[in-house]
Amino acid sequence: MNNIREHAHNLEDHIKTLRELDRYRKESAALREEGFKALDKECPPIETEAQPTEVKGRGKTAVKEFVQWW
């Protein structure tokens, strides 16, 4: 009989732990969403129609083409 009570108590502890973890997960998601919203306000996305050109070659040529595109 003690064994059953012990298992029941352990299950209750596990359920409490899972509920706490779920609460932390929800709080974390809410904080992360707030952070993204704050970032969007401070740093709005850059809208541009420019597309990178295919970079041919290496070294200085590739850097020059990238800088021109940017």
pLDDT digits (tens, 9 = 90+) for 53-69: 555 555 556 666 666 65
Q: How far apart are CA 63 and CA 51, in angstroms?
A: 16
**Residue 63: per-residue pLDDT:** 61
**Residue 27: per-residue pLDDT:** 92
C-alpha pair distances (Å), 23 with each of 32, 59, 70: 14, 52, 44
**Rg of the chain over all Cα atoms, to the nearest angstrom:** 27
Q: How far apart are CA 17 and CA 46, in angstroms?
A: 43
**Between residues 45 and 69, the one the model is more confident about:** 45
Average pLDDT (15-27) is 94
**Residue 51: per-residue pLDDT:** 57
Which residue matches tokens 């609460």?
23
